[in-house]
C-alpha cells in the first residue's frame, strides 16, 4: 500500500485536522475546519518541522511513531511560535528528551516565555544551514509574517519550502495532503479570508519575504495550514502577492448597520445605482448578520468601499464601530471610500464616519449622504450621486 504521508524525498506529512473548533483564534469562523501541519524528515538525522495544537497530540505522536518506529528525533525545527503550531513542543521533548530545538534568537525568547523549557538548542541566523544527510536545509528570516520570530526552512535537495503560516489557508485536508490529490474548490476563497483575517496588516513584510524567497527554485510548499502545494504554487504565490500589495478587483462592498431599516434603504438605493452604472460586483453586508471575517475578506477582494451607520446614542452603531476598528487594524490601502448615515433626532454618525475616513489610507469619493428620519427625493438623489462617483472612481 502506498504511503500517502510521504511527500517528497524523505519528507512525511504528520499534520492533523481540526473539525471541532468553531472559531479560529476565538474570532474567525472555520466552517470547513482547519489543519495544523507538521512535517517529518526521516533522514540520517531526523528533523521534525513544527508541531501541532496540543489537543491533537495523541494523533500527532501516533503519526510520528508510524514513520519512525523507535528511531529518535534529532532536531525539532520551530518556524513559528504561535501556540497552534508550538504548543506540543514540551510533550515532544518528553518523548524525545535528547532532541535539539532549532530556531532563531526570537524563537527561544518565546519558548522561554511560553514553556520555560530547558533543552538542547541550535540558534540559527539568516542563511545558516543544517545537513541531515540527503536533505540540506537552510533558514531564512521572515519577521512579521505574521509574528516577529517567524522564519522559513528551505530544503535545497528536494526544493521544498517549509513556509510557516505563509501560503496557508483555512480548511482541513481531507484524505491526502497534496493539492493534486484533493478537490481544491473550497480553499481559494478560504485563503483570501485566512489572509485578510490573520495576516492582513502585514503586507509589507509579506512582500519582503516574497522577494527574498523568489530567488529559490521551489517545487513544493509545505505551509502550516491547508494543502501541500505542488501544481498550484504559482497560483498560491500570486494570491499572496496580490493581497499583500492590496491589489483588488473592481467592485464595491457596502457595509451598513440598521435598526429599523432606514439606513438599509440608503444602502439599497446606492447599490441599485451602482448596478445601473455598470458595477457588477456589488457586495452588501448588514453588520448585524455578516460576520466580520467575511466582510474583511470582501474588502480585500474589491477596490470600492461604502460604509453606512445610523446614529446610536450620539455615536456610531456599535457593530459599525467594531468593523471600523478591524479595518484600521489591518492598515488596508488603495481603496476608494464613501459613507452615509441616518438619524432620528441628533445626527452624529456621518461626522464620525468622516473622522474615520480622514484617518484611513483610502481615497475619499463623492459627498457623504445624511438622512433625517425618512427617505425624500433629495436624499435619493444624493445616494445616486455617491454611487455615480464611486462607479467612476473604481473604473479609472
- Cα radius of gyration (the chain): 24
pLDDT score of 2? 54
| pLDDT at res. 338 | 97
pLDDT of residue 1: 42
SS (H, E, C) 22-59: CEECCCEECCCCEEECCEEEECCCEEEECCCCHHHHHH
**What are the residue boundaries of the structural domains of the chain, listed by start?**
6-244, 250-395
Dist CA 338 CA 301 (whole Å): 17
Instruction: Using CB atoms within 10 Å of the CB of residue 31, give its burial: 0 to 12 exposed, 13 to 18 middle, 19+ buried.
Output: exposed
State the pLDDT at residue 3.
65
Task: Give how far the C-alpha of residue 197 lies from the chain's centroid of Cα atoms, to the nearest Å.
Answer: 5
Whole-structure pTM value: 0.93
Can you give the pLDDT of all 396 residues of the chain as single tens digits? 456 689 999 999 999 999 999 999 999 999 999 999 999 999 999 999 999 999 999 999 999 999 999 999 999 999 999 999 999 999 999 999 999 999 999 999 999 999 988 889 999 999 999 999 999 999 999 999 999 999 999 999 999 999 999 999 999 999 989 999 999 999 999 999 999 999 999 999 999 999 999 999 999 999 999 999 999 999 999 999 999 999 999 999 999 999 888 899 999 999 999 999 999 999 999 999 999 999 999 999 999 999 999 998 888 989 999 999 999 999 999 999 999 998 777 768 889 999 999 999 899 999 999 878 877 778 999 999 999 999 999 997
The pLDDT of residue 361: 87
Please give the class, per CATH, of domain 6-244: alpha beta
At residue 260, the pLDDT reads 85
> What would the grid cell of residue 129 be?
544551514
DSSP of 104-168:
-HHHHHHHHHHH----EEEE--TT-EEE-SS-EEEEEE-TTSSSTT-EEEEETTTTEEE-TTTT-
> Do residues 261 and 292 lie in contact, with contact meaning Cβ atoms separated by under 8 Å?
no
Are the C-beta atoms of 336 and 303 separated by less than 8 Å?
yes
- Give the architecture-level CATH label for domain 250-395: 3-Layer(aba) Sandwich (3.40)
Angle at alpha carbon of residue 166, lines to 299 and 219, rounded to 5°: 125
Instruction: Give pLDDT, residue 279.
Output: 97
CB 386 within 8 A of CB 376: no
Amino acid at each position: 500500500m502506498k504511503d500517502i504521508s510521504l511527500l517528497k524525498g524523505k519528507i512525511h506529512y504528520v499534520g492533523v485536522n481540526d473539525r471541532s473548533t468553531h472559531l479560529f483564534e476565538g474570532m474567525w469562523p472555520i466552517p470547513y475546519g482547519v489543519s495544523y501541519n507538521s512535517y517529518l524528515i526521516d533522514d540520517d538525522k531526523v528533523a521534525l518541522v513544527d508541531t501541532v495544537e496540543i489537543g491533537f497530540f495523541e494523533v500527532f505522536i501516533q503519526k510520528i511513531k508510524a514513520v519512525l518506529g523507535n528511531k529518535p528525533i534529532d532536531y525539532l525545527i520551530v518556524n513559528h511560535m504561535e501556540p497552534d503550531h508550538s504548543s506540543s513542543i514540551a510533550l515532544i521533548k518528553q518523548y524525545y528528551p535528547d532532541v535539539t530545538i532549532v530556531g532563531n534568537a526570537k524563537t527561544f525568547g518565546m519558548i522561554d516565555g511560553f514553556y520555560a523549557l530547558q533543552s538542547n538548542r541550535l540558534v540559527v541566523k539568516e542563511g545558516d544551514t543544517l545537513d541531515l544527510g540527503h536533505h540540506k536545509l537552510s533558514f531564512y528570516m521572515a519577521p512579521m509574517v505574521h509574528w516577529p520570530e517567524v522564519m522559513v526552512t528551505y530544503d535545497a535537495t528536494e526544493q521544498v519550502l517549509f513556509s510557516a503560516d505563509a501560503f496557508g489557508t483555512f480548511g482541513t485536508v481531507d484524505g491526502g495532503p497534496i493539492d493534486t490529490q484533493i478537490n481544491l474548490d473550497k480553499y481559494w476563497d478560504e485563503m483570501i479570508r485566512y489572509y485578510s483575517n490573520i495576516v492582513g496588516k502585514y503586507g509589507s513584510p509579506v512582500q519582503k519575504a516574497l522577494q527574498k524567497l523568489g530567488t529559490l527554485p521551489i517545487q513544493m510548499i509545505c505551509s502550516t495550514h491547508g494543502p501541500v502545494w505542488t501544481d498550484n504554487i504559482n497560483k498560491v504565490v500570486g494570491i499572496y502577492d496580490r493581497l499583500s500589495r492590496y491589489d483588488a478587483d473592481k467592485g464595491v462592498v457596502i457595509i451598513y448597520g440598521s435598526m429599523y431599516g432606514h439606513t438599509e434603504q440608503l444602502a439599497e438605493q446606492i447599490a441599485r445605482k451602482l448596478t445601473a452604472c455598470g458595477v457588477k460586483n456589488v457586495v452588501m453586508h448588514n453588520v448585524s448578520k455578516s460576520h466580520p471575517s467575511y466582510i474583511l475578506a470582501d474588502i480585500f477582494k474589491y477596490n470600492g468601499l461604502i460604509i453606512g451607520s445610523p446614529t446610536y446614542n450620539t455615536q456610531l452603531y456599535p457593530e459599525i464601530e467594531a468593523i471600523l476598528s478591524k479595518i484600521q487594524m489591518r492598515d488596508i490601502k488603495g481603496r476608494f471610500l464613501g459613507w452615509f448615515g441616518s438619524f432620528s433626532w441628533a445626527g452624529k454618525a456621518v461626522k464620525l464616519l468622516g473622522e474615520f475616513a480622514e484617518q484611513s489610507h483610502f481615497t475619499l469619493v463623492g459627498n457623504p449622504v445624511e438622512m433625517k428620519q425618512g427617505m425624500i427625493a433629495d436624499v435619493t438623489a444624493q445616494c445616486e450621486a455617491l454611487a455615480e462617483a464611486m462607479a467612476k472612481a473604481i473604473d479609472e
